[in-house]
Chains A and B, each alone.
Chain A
Amino acid sequence: MARRELAEINAGSMADIAFLLLVFFLVVTTMNSDSGMKRLLPPPLPPEFVPPDVKARNVYEVLVNFNNDLLVEEKAMNVNDLKAGAKEFLLANGDNVLSPLGPALDDFPIRGTLNKDSINGVIRSFEELIKQLETELEVASDANNIKAIEKEIKTANSSLNSSLSKMYAFEFFGKYAPLPGSALISVQNDNSTDYETYVRVNNELEAAIRELRDEVCLAKFGILFNQLDAADEEDKKKILAIREVYPQRISEAEPLDVRGFGG
């Protein structure tokens, strides 16, 4: 039997056409996906706002001058040491999670103590308050009144959430010693500070917090902090607990003309 050859359409030029298009897209494509450091700006302050008094020991003060030099807690510091410095601040005086309780050092925030019953009491009282406010909301008719109650519910809810975080932290880490609510890292830069230095400083501070969170998460749960799934009920609790122990409180003061340090 004779073989019959199949007549084919010559598809050779198809490859050429596709190559042409391919080269075009290769040239046009820029592969960089945008990335950056996320930040939340504070909402505009009411004009009558008076900044609260914070104890110097509760603030990790970072000043950056026009020459991109750092003054941290009134000592000159290299930016490479900033991460270690911030970690020291967050761990000092012992949080009972990563660092053992020790004798209280003067320049660092004094740790609080937590009592499980008192947290539970606070949670219950807030829950009752919210319930009560909700029933008030149902009968309220005046528009202004409704707004006021809704605002109250919102603040009660945020207080309830912070107490819940404390509870979760207590459940996971036992008797941990919380940072005082006013403890924060404060960054102040000069108007002539370079943007690069500013980003670097913020990056180091953020890295310090992330590494502490990762460390505790790895020790307790065996995974990294950013691997926890916020959509999962149990993981969500873990996230809140770790955030409670190592809060990301980096505040930014209004820029000054921090000319030289101490003249």
Chain B
Amino acid sequence: MAKFTKKKKKSVTPVSTASLPDIVFMLLFFFMVATVMRDKDPLVEIKLPKATEVEKIKNKTRAAYLSVGPPVDKKRGSDPVLQLNDDIAEVADIRQWVEDTKNSKDEEDRKKMTWVLNVDKETKMGRISAIKQELRQSSALKIMYQSTEDVKVSGNR
């Protein structure tokens, strides 16, 4: 037996890990590109309603968000409040905010703005109607009710 073992000198070739960085870098770049850094602190808590007939926001520079929900800071109570940019605001501030937001965009984006209503599902419609009236008066007509996509139950699919 010793005869055979002597003949073959076993040399363990390690698995080359040279390609590992390449793979990891590939993943890294994917996540880097996919990452959207959160640019505003949420001051209101929002649980979105569900809907099936939804569209995605394709161009985020053409979207402006109005958030309505109970404040994160419990000292402010639990009544839903409106958040514009980084501040809690009043409904009456919307007109000025629409103006400012439009002015901060370039000519092409300005006409195609979508005003996204990011609203907690337990909010009463009275508040939202008031907000919508303000948007109408400010000629911000293209709106979107932000909602999480629900699976279509029936239909032709």
Contact = CB atoms under 8 A, between A and B. Distances in A.
Interface string A183-214: 00000011111111011101100110011001
Interface in B23-72: 24-25, 27-28, 31-32, 34-38, 49-57, 60, 63
A214 B156 contact: yes
A26 interface: yes
B58 to A, nearest CB: 9
A193 B123 CA distance: 8
Contact of B142 (A35, A38, A218): A38
Interface string A9-26: 001101100110110011
A11 B18 contact: yes
Contacts of B31: 22, 25-26, 29
Interface of B: 17-18, 20-21, 24-25, 27-28, 31-32, 34-38, 49-57, 60, 63, 114, 116-117, 119-126, 128-129, 132, 135-137, 139-149, 152, 155-157
Contacts of A214: 155-156
B156 A211 contact: yes
A199 to B, nearest CB: 4
Main secondary structure of the interface of B (DSSP, over half): mixed
A41 interface: yes
A182 to B, nearest CB: 22
Interface in A205-263: 206-207, 210-211, 214-215, 218, 224, 254-255
A22 B120 CA distance: 33
B51 A22 contact: no
A37 interface: yes
Contact of B147 (A26, A37, A40): A37
6 contacts: A14-B21, A28-B35, A35-B149, A38-B142, A44-B139, A192-B125
A144 interface: no
A196 B36 CA distance: 27
Contacts of B28: 18, 21-22, 25
A121 to B, nearest CB: 34
B139 A43 contact: yes
Contacts of B21: 11, 14-15, 18
Contacts of A103: none
Contacts of A31: 34
A254 B143 CA distance: 17
Nearest to A84: B154
A34 interface: yes
A195 B32 contact: no
A195 B146 CA distance: 11
Contacts of A195: 49, 119-125, 128
Given A31-B34, A43-B139, A196-B49, A36 B129 contact: no
B156 A38 contact: no
Given A35-B55, A37-B53, A38-B114, A194 B144 contact: no
Given A18-B21, A31-B34, A34-B63, A199 B139 contact: no
Contacts of B54: 35-37
A215 B155 CA distance: 9
Contacts of A21: 28
Q: Report the 8 A-B pairs with minimum CB-CB distance, sorted nearest first.
A: A191-B126, A25-B31, A196-B121, A36-B146, A18-B24, A36-B144, A14-B21, A206-B53
A258 to B, nearest CB: 11
A37 B123 CA distance: 17
B119 to A, nearest CB: 5
Given A29-B34, A37-B54, A38-B114, A224 B126 contact: no
Given A22-B28, A29-B35, A38-B142, A255 B53 contact: no
A136 to B, nearest CB: 28
